[in-house]
């Protein structure tokens, strides 16, 4: 029995490193449900992501709940508005002490620049660190045909994602949110220091739901993603803790 102990310690150390790359999406309707998930899952993820559903229902107290539990917080509201409005919204998130937040590249270069500048200025005023500003490229739920037809964009979906990623980098964002299918190309043009956060993660055999451009956790890491965003594959699993552990095990093999 005692011989197992060192293995367990090594496993726990490795997990501590890899868990920083896992972001769990709290797409639930109430603060109570969010709390339960954070309490259950904080050993397995460095960051929790709050998106439109939970933030719209419960507001900024969700941020306080997560910070109070010692985890990092990613507010994913995909701001897309005129530069002045987005700058104000980013300043408000900086004052709440979030670690990461999203703006949408479709808002354009001026809007992205306004978000980056507002974040830096407000953090300086507060004497804190600015959050990572991440620009959302092409949503993981789009597929090629409908993207071209409905958006009327002449480029392929992949070319559009790369074009937006480069624009976001030039505007000064810290990184992008992109599907695993575009990670390798974006890494190729934007370089190793540009953060790539990747949703659209599905363990082999898991239901796709509304997502189209997906990969397994291991494949997405091997493609070059810095962080993986996983929602339903963990939060809707019969045992979310076990699902998170399985994903971390797979990530360990591919890092």
Report the catalytic residues: 78
d(CA 114, CA 134): 13
Query: Got the DSSP string for 146-212?
Result: HHHHHH--SS-HHHHHHHHHHHHHHTT-SEEE--HHHHHHHHHHH-TTSEEEE--B--TT---TT--
Q: Which of residues 74-93 bind ligand C5P (CB under 6 A)?
A: 76
Q: Looking at the chain, how many residues does it have?
A: 255
Q: Tell me if 177 contacts ligand C5P by CB under 6 A.
A: yes
Q: Taking the complex as a whole, how short is the minimal distance between the CB of residue 46 and ligand C5P, in angstroms?
A: 16
Question: Binding residue for ligand C5P (CB under 6 A) from 22, 27, 73, 147?
Answer: 27
Query: Does residue 139 interact with ligand C5P by CB under 6 A?
Result: yes
Give the range of 54-62, 136-144, 157-165, 247-255 binding ligand C5P by CB under 6 A.
136-144
Which of 119, 137 has the CB closer to ligand C5P?
137
What are the backbone dihedrals phi and psi of residue 229, each rounded to the nearest 5 degrees, phi first?
-100, 120
Binding mask 30-49 for ligand C5P (x = CB under 6 A): --------------------
Q: Does 175 bind ligand C5P (CB under 6 A)?
A: no
Dihedral sign for Cα atoms in the order 90, 122, 27, 57: negative
* Backbone φ and ψ of 79, nearest 5°: -60, 135
Residues 213, 215, 221, 224: what is their CA dihedral angle, to the nearest 10 degrees? -30
Contact 177, 141 (CB under 8 A): no
CA distance 248 to 58: 29
Considering the rule CB under 6 A, would residue 136 count as an interface residue with ligand C5P? yes
* 228 binding ligand C5P? (CB under 6 A): no
Residue nearer to ligand C5P on the CB measure, 122 or 181: 181
| Burial classification of residue 211, based on how many CB atoms lie within 10 Å of its CB (0-12 exposed, 13-18 middle, 19 or more buried) | buried
Q: Please identify, among the stretches 109-117, 186-194, 197-205, 215-223, the one whose residues bind ligand C5P according to the rule CB under 6 A.
A: 197-205
| Out of 105, 119, 173, 211, the residue judged to bind ligand C5P by CB under 6 A | 211
Closest to ligand C5P by CB, 52 or 82: 52
Q: Taking a C-beta distance cutoff of 8 angstroms, is the pair 120, 129 a contact?
A: no
Residue nearest to ligand C5P (CB): 231
Choose, by CB under 6 A, the member of 199, 217, 218, 240 that binds ligand C5P. Answer: 199
Binding footprint of ligand C5P on the chain (CB under 6 A): 25, 27, 51, 76, 136, 139-140, 177, 199-201, 209, 211, 229-233
């Amino acid at each position: 029995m005692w011989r197992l102990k060192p293995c367990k310690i090594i496993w726990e150390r490795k997990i501590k490193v890899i868990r920083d790359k896992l972001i769990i999406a709290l797409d639930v309707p109430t603060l109570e449900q969010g709390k339960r998930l954070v309490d259950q899952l904080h050993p397995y993820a460095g960051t929790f992501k709050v998106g439109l559903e939970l933030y719209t229902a419960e507001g900024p107290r969700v941020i306080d709940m997560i910070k109070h539990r010692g985890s990092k917080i990613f507010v994913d509201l995909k701001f897309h508005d005129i530069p002045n409005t987005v700058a104000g919204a980013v300043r408000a998130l900086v004052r709440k002490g979030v670690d990461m937040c999203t703006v949408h590249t479709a808002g354009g270069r001026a809007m992205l620049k306004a978000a980056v500048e507002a974040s830096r200025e407000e953090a300086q005023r507060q004497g804190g660190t600015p959050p990572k500003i991440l620009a959302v490229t092409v949503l993981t739920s789009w597929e090629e045909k409908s993207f071209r037809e409905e958006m009327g964009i002449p480029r392929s979906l992949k070319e559009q994602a790369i074009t937006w990623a480069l624009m976001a980098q030039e505007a000064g964002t810290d990184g992008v949110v992109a599907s695993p299918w575009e990670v390798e190309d974006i890494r190729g043009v934007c370089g190793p220091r540009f953060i790539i956060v990747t949703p659209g993660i599905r363990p082999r055999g898991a239901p796709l739901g509304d997502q189209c451009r997906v990969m397994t956790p291991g494949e997405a890491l091997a493609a070059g993603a810095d962080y993986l965003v996983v929602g339903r594959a963990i939060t809707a699993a019969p045992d979310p803790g076990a699902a998170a552990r399985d994903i971390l095990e797979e990530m360990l093999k591919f890092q």
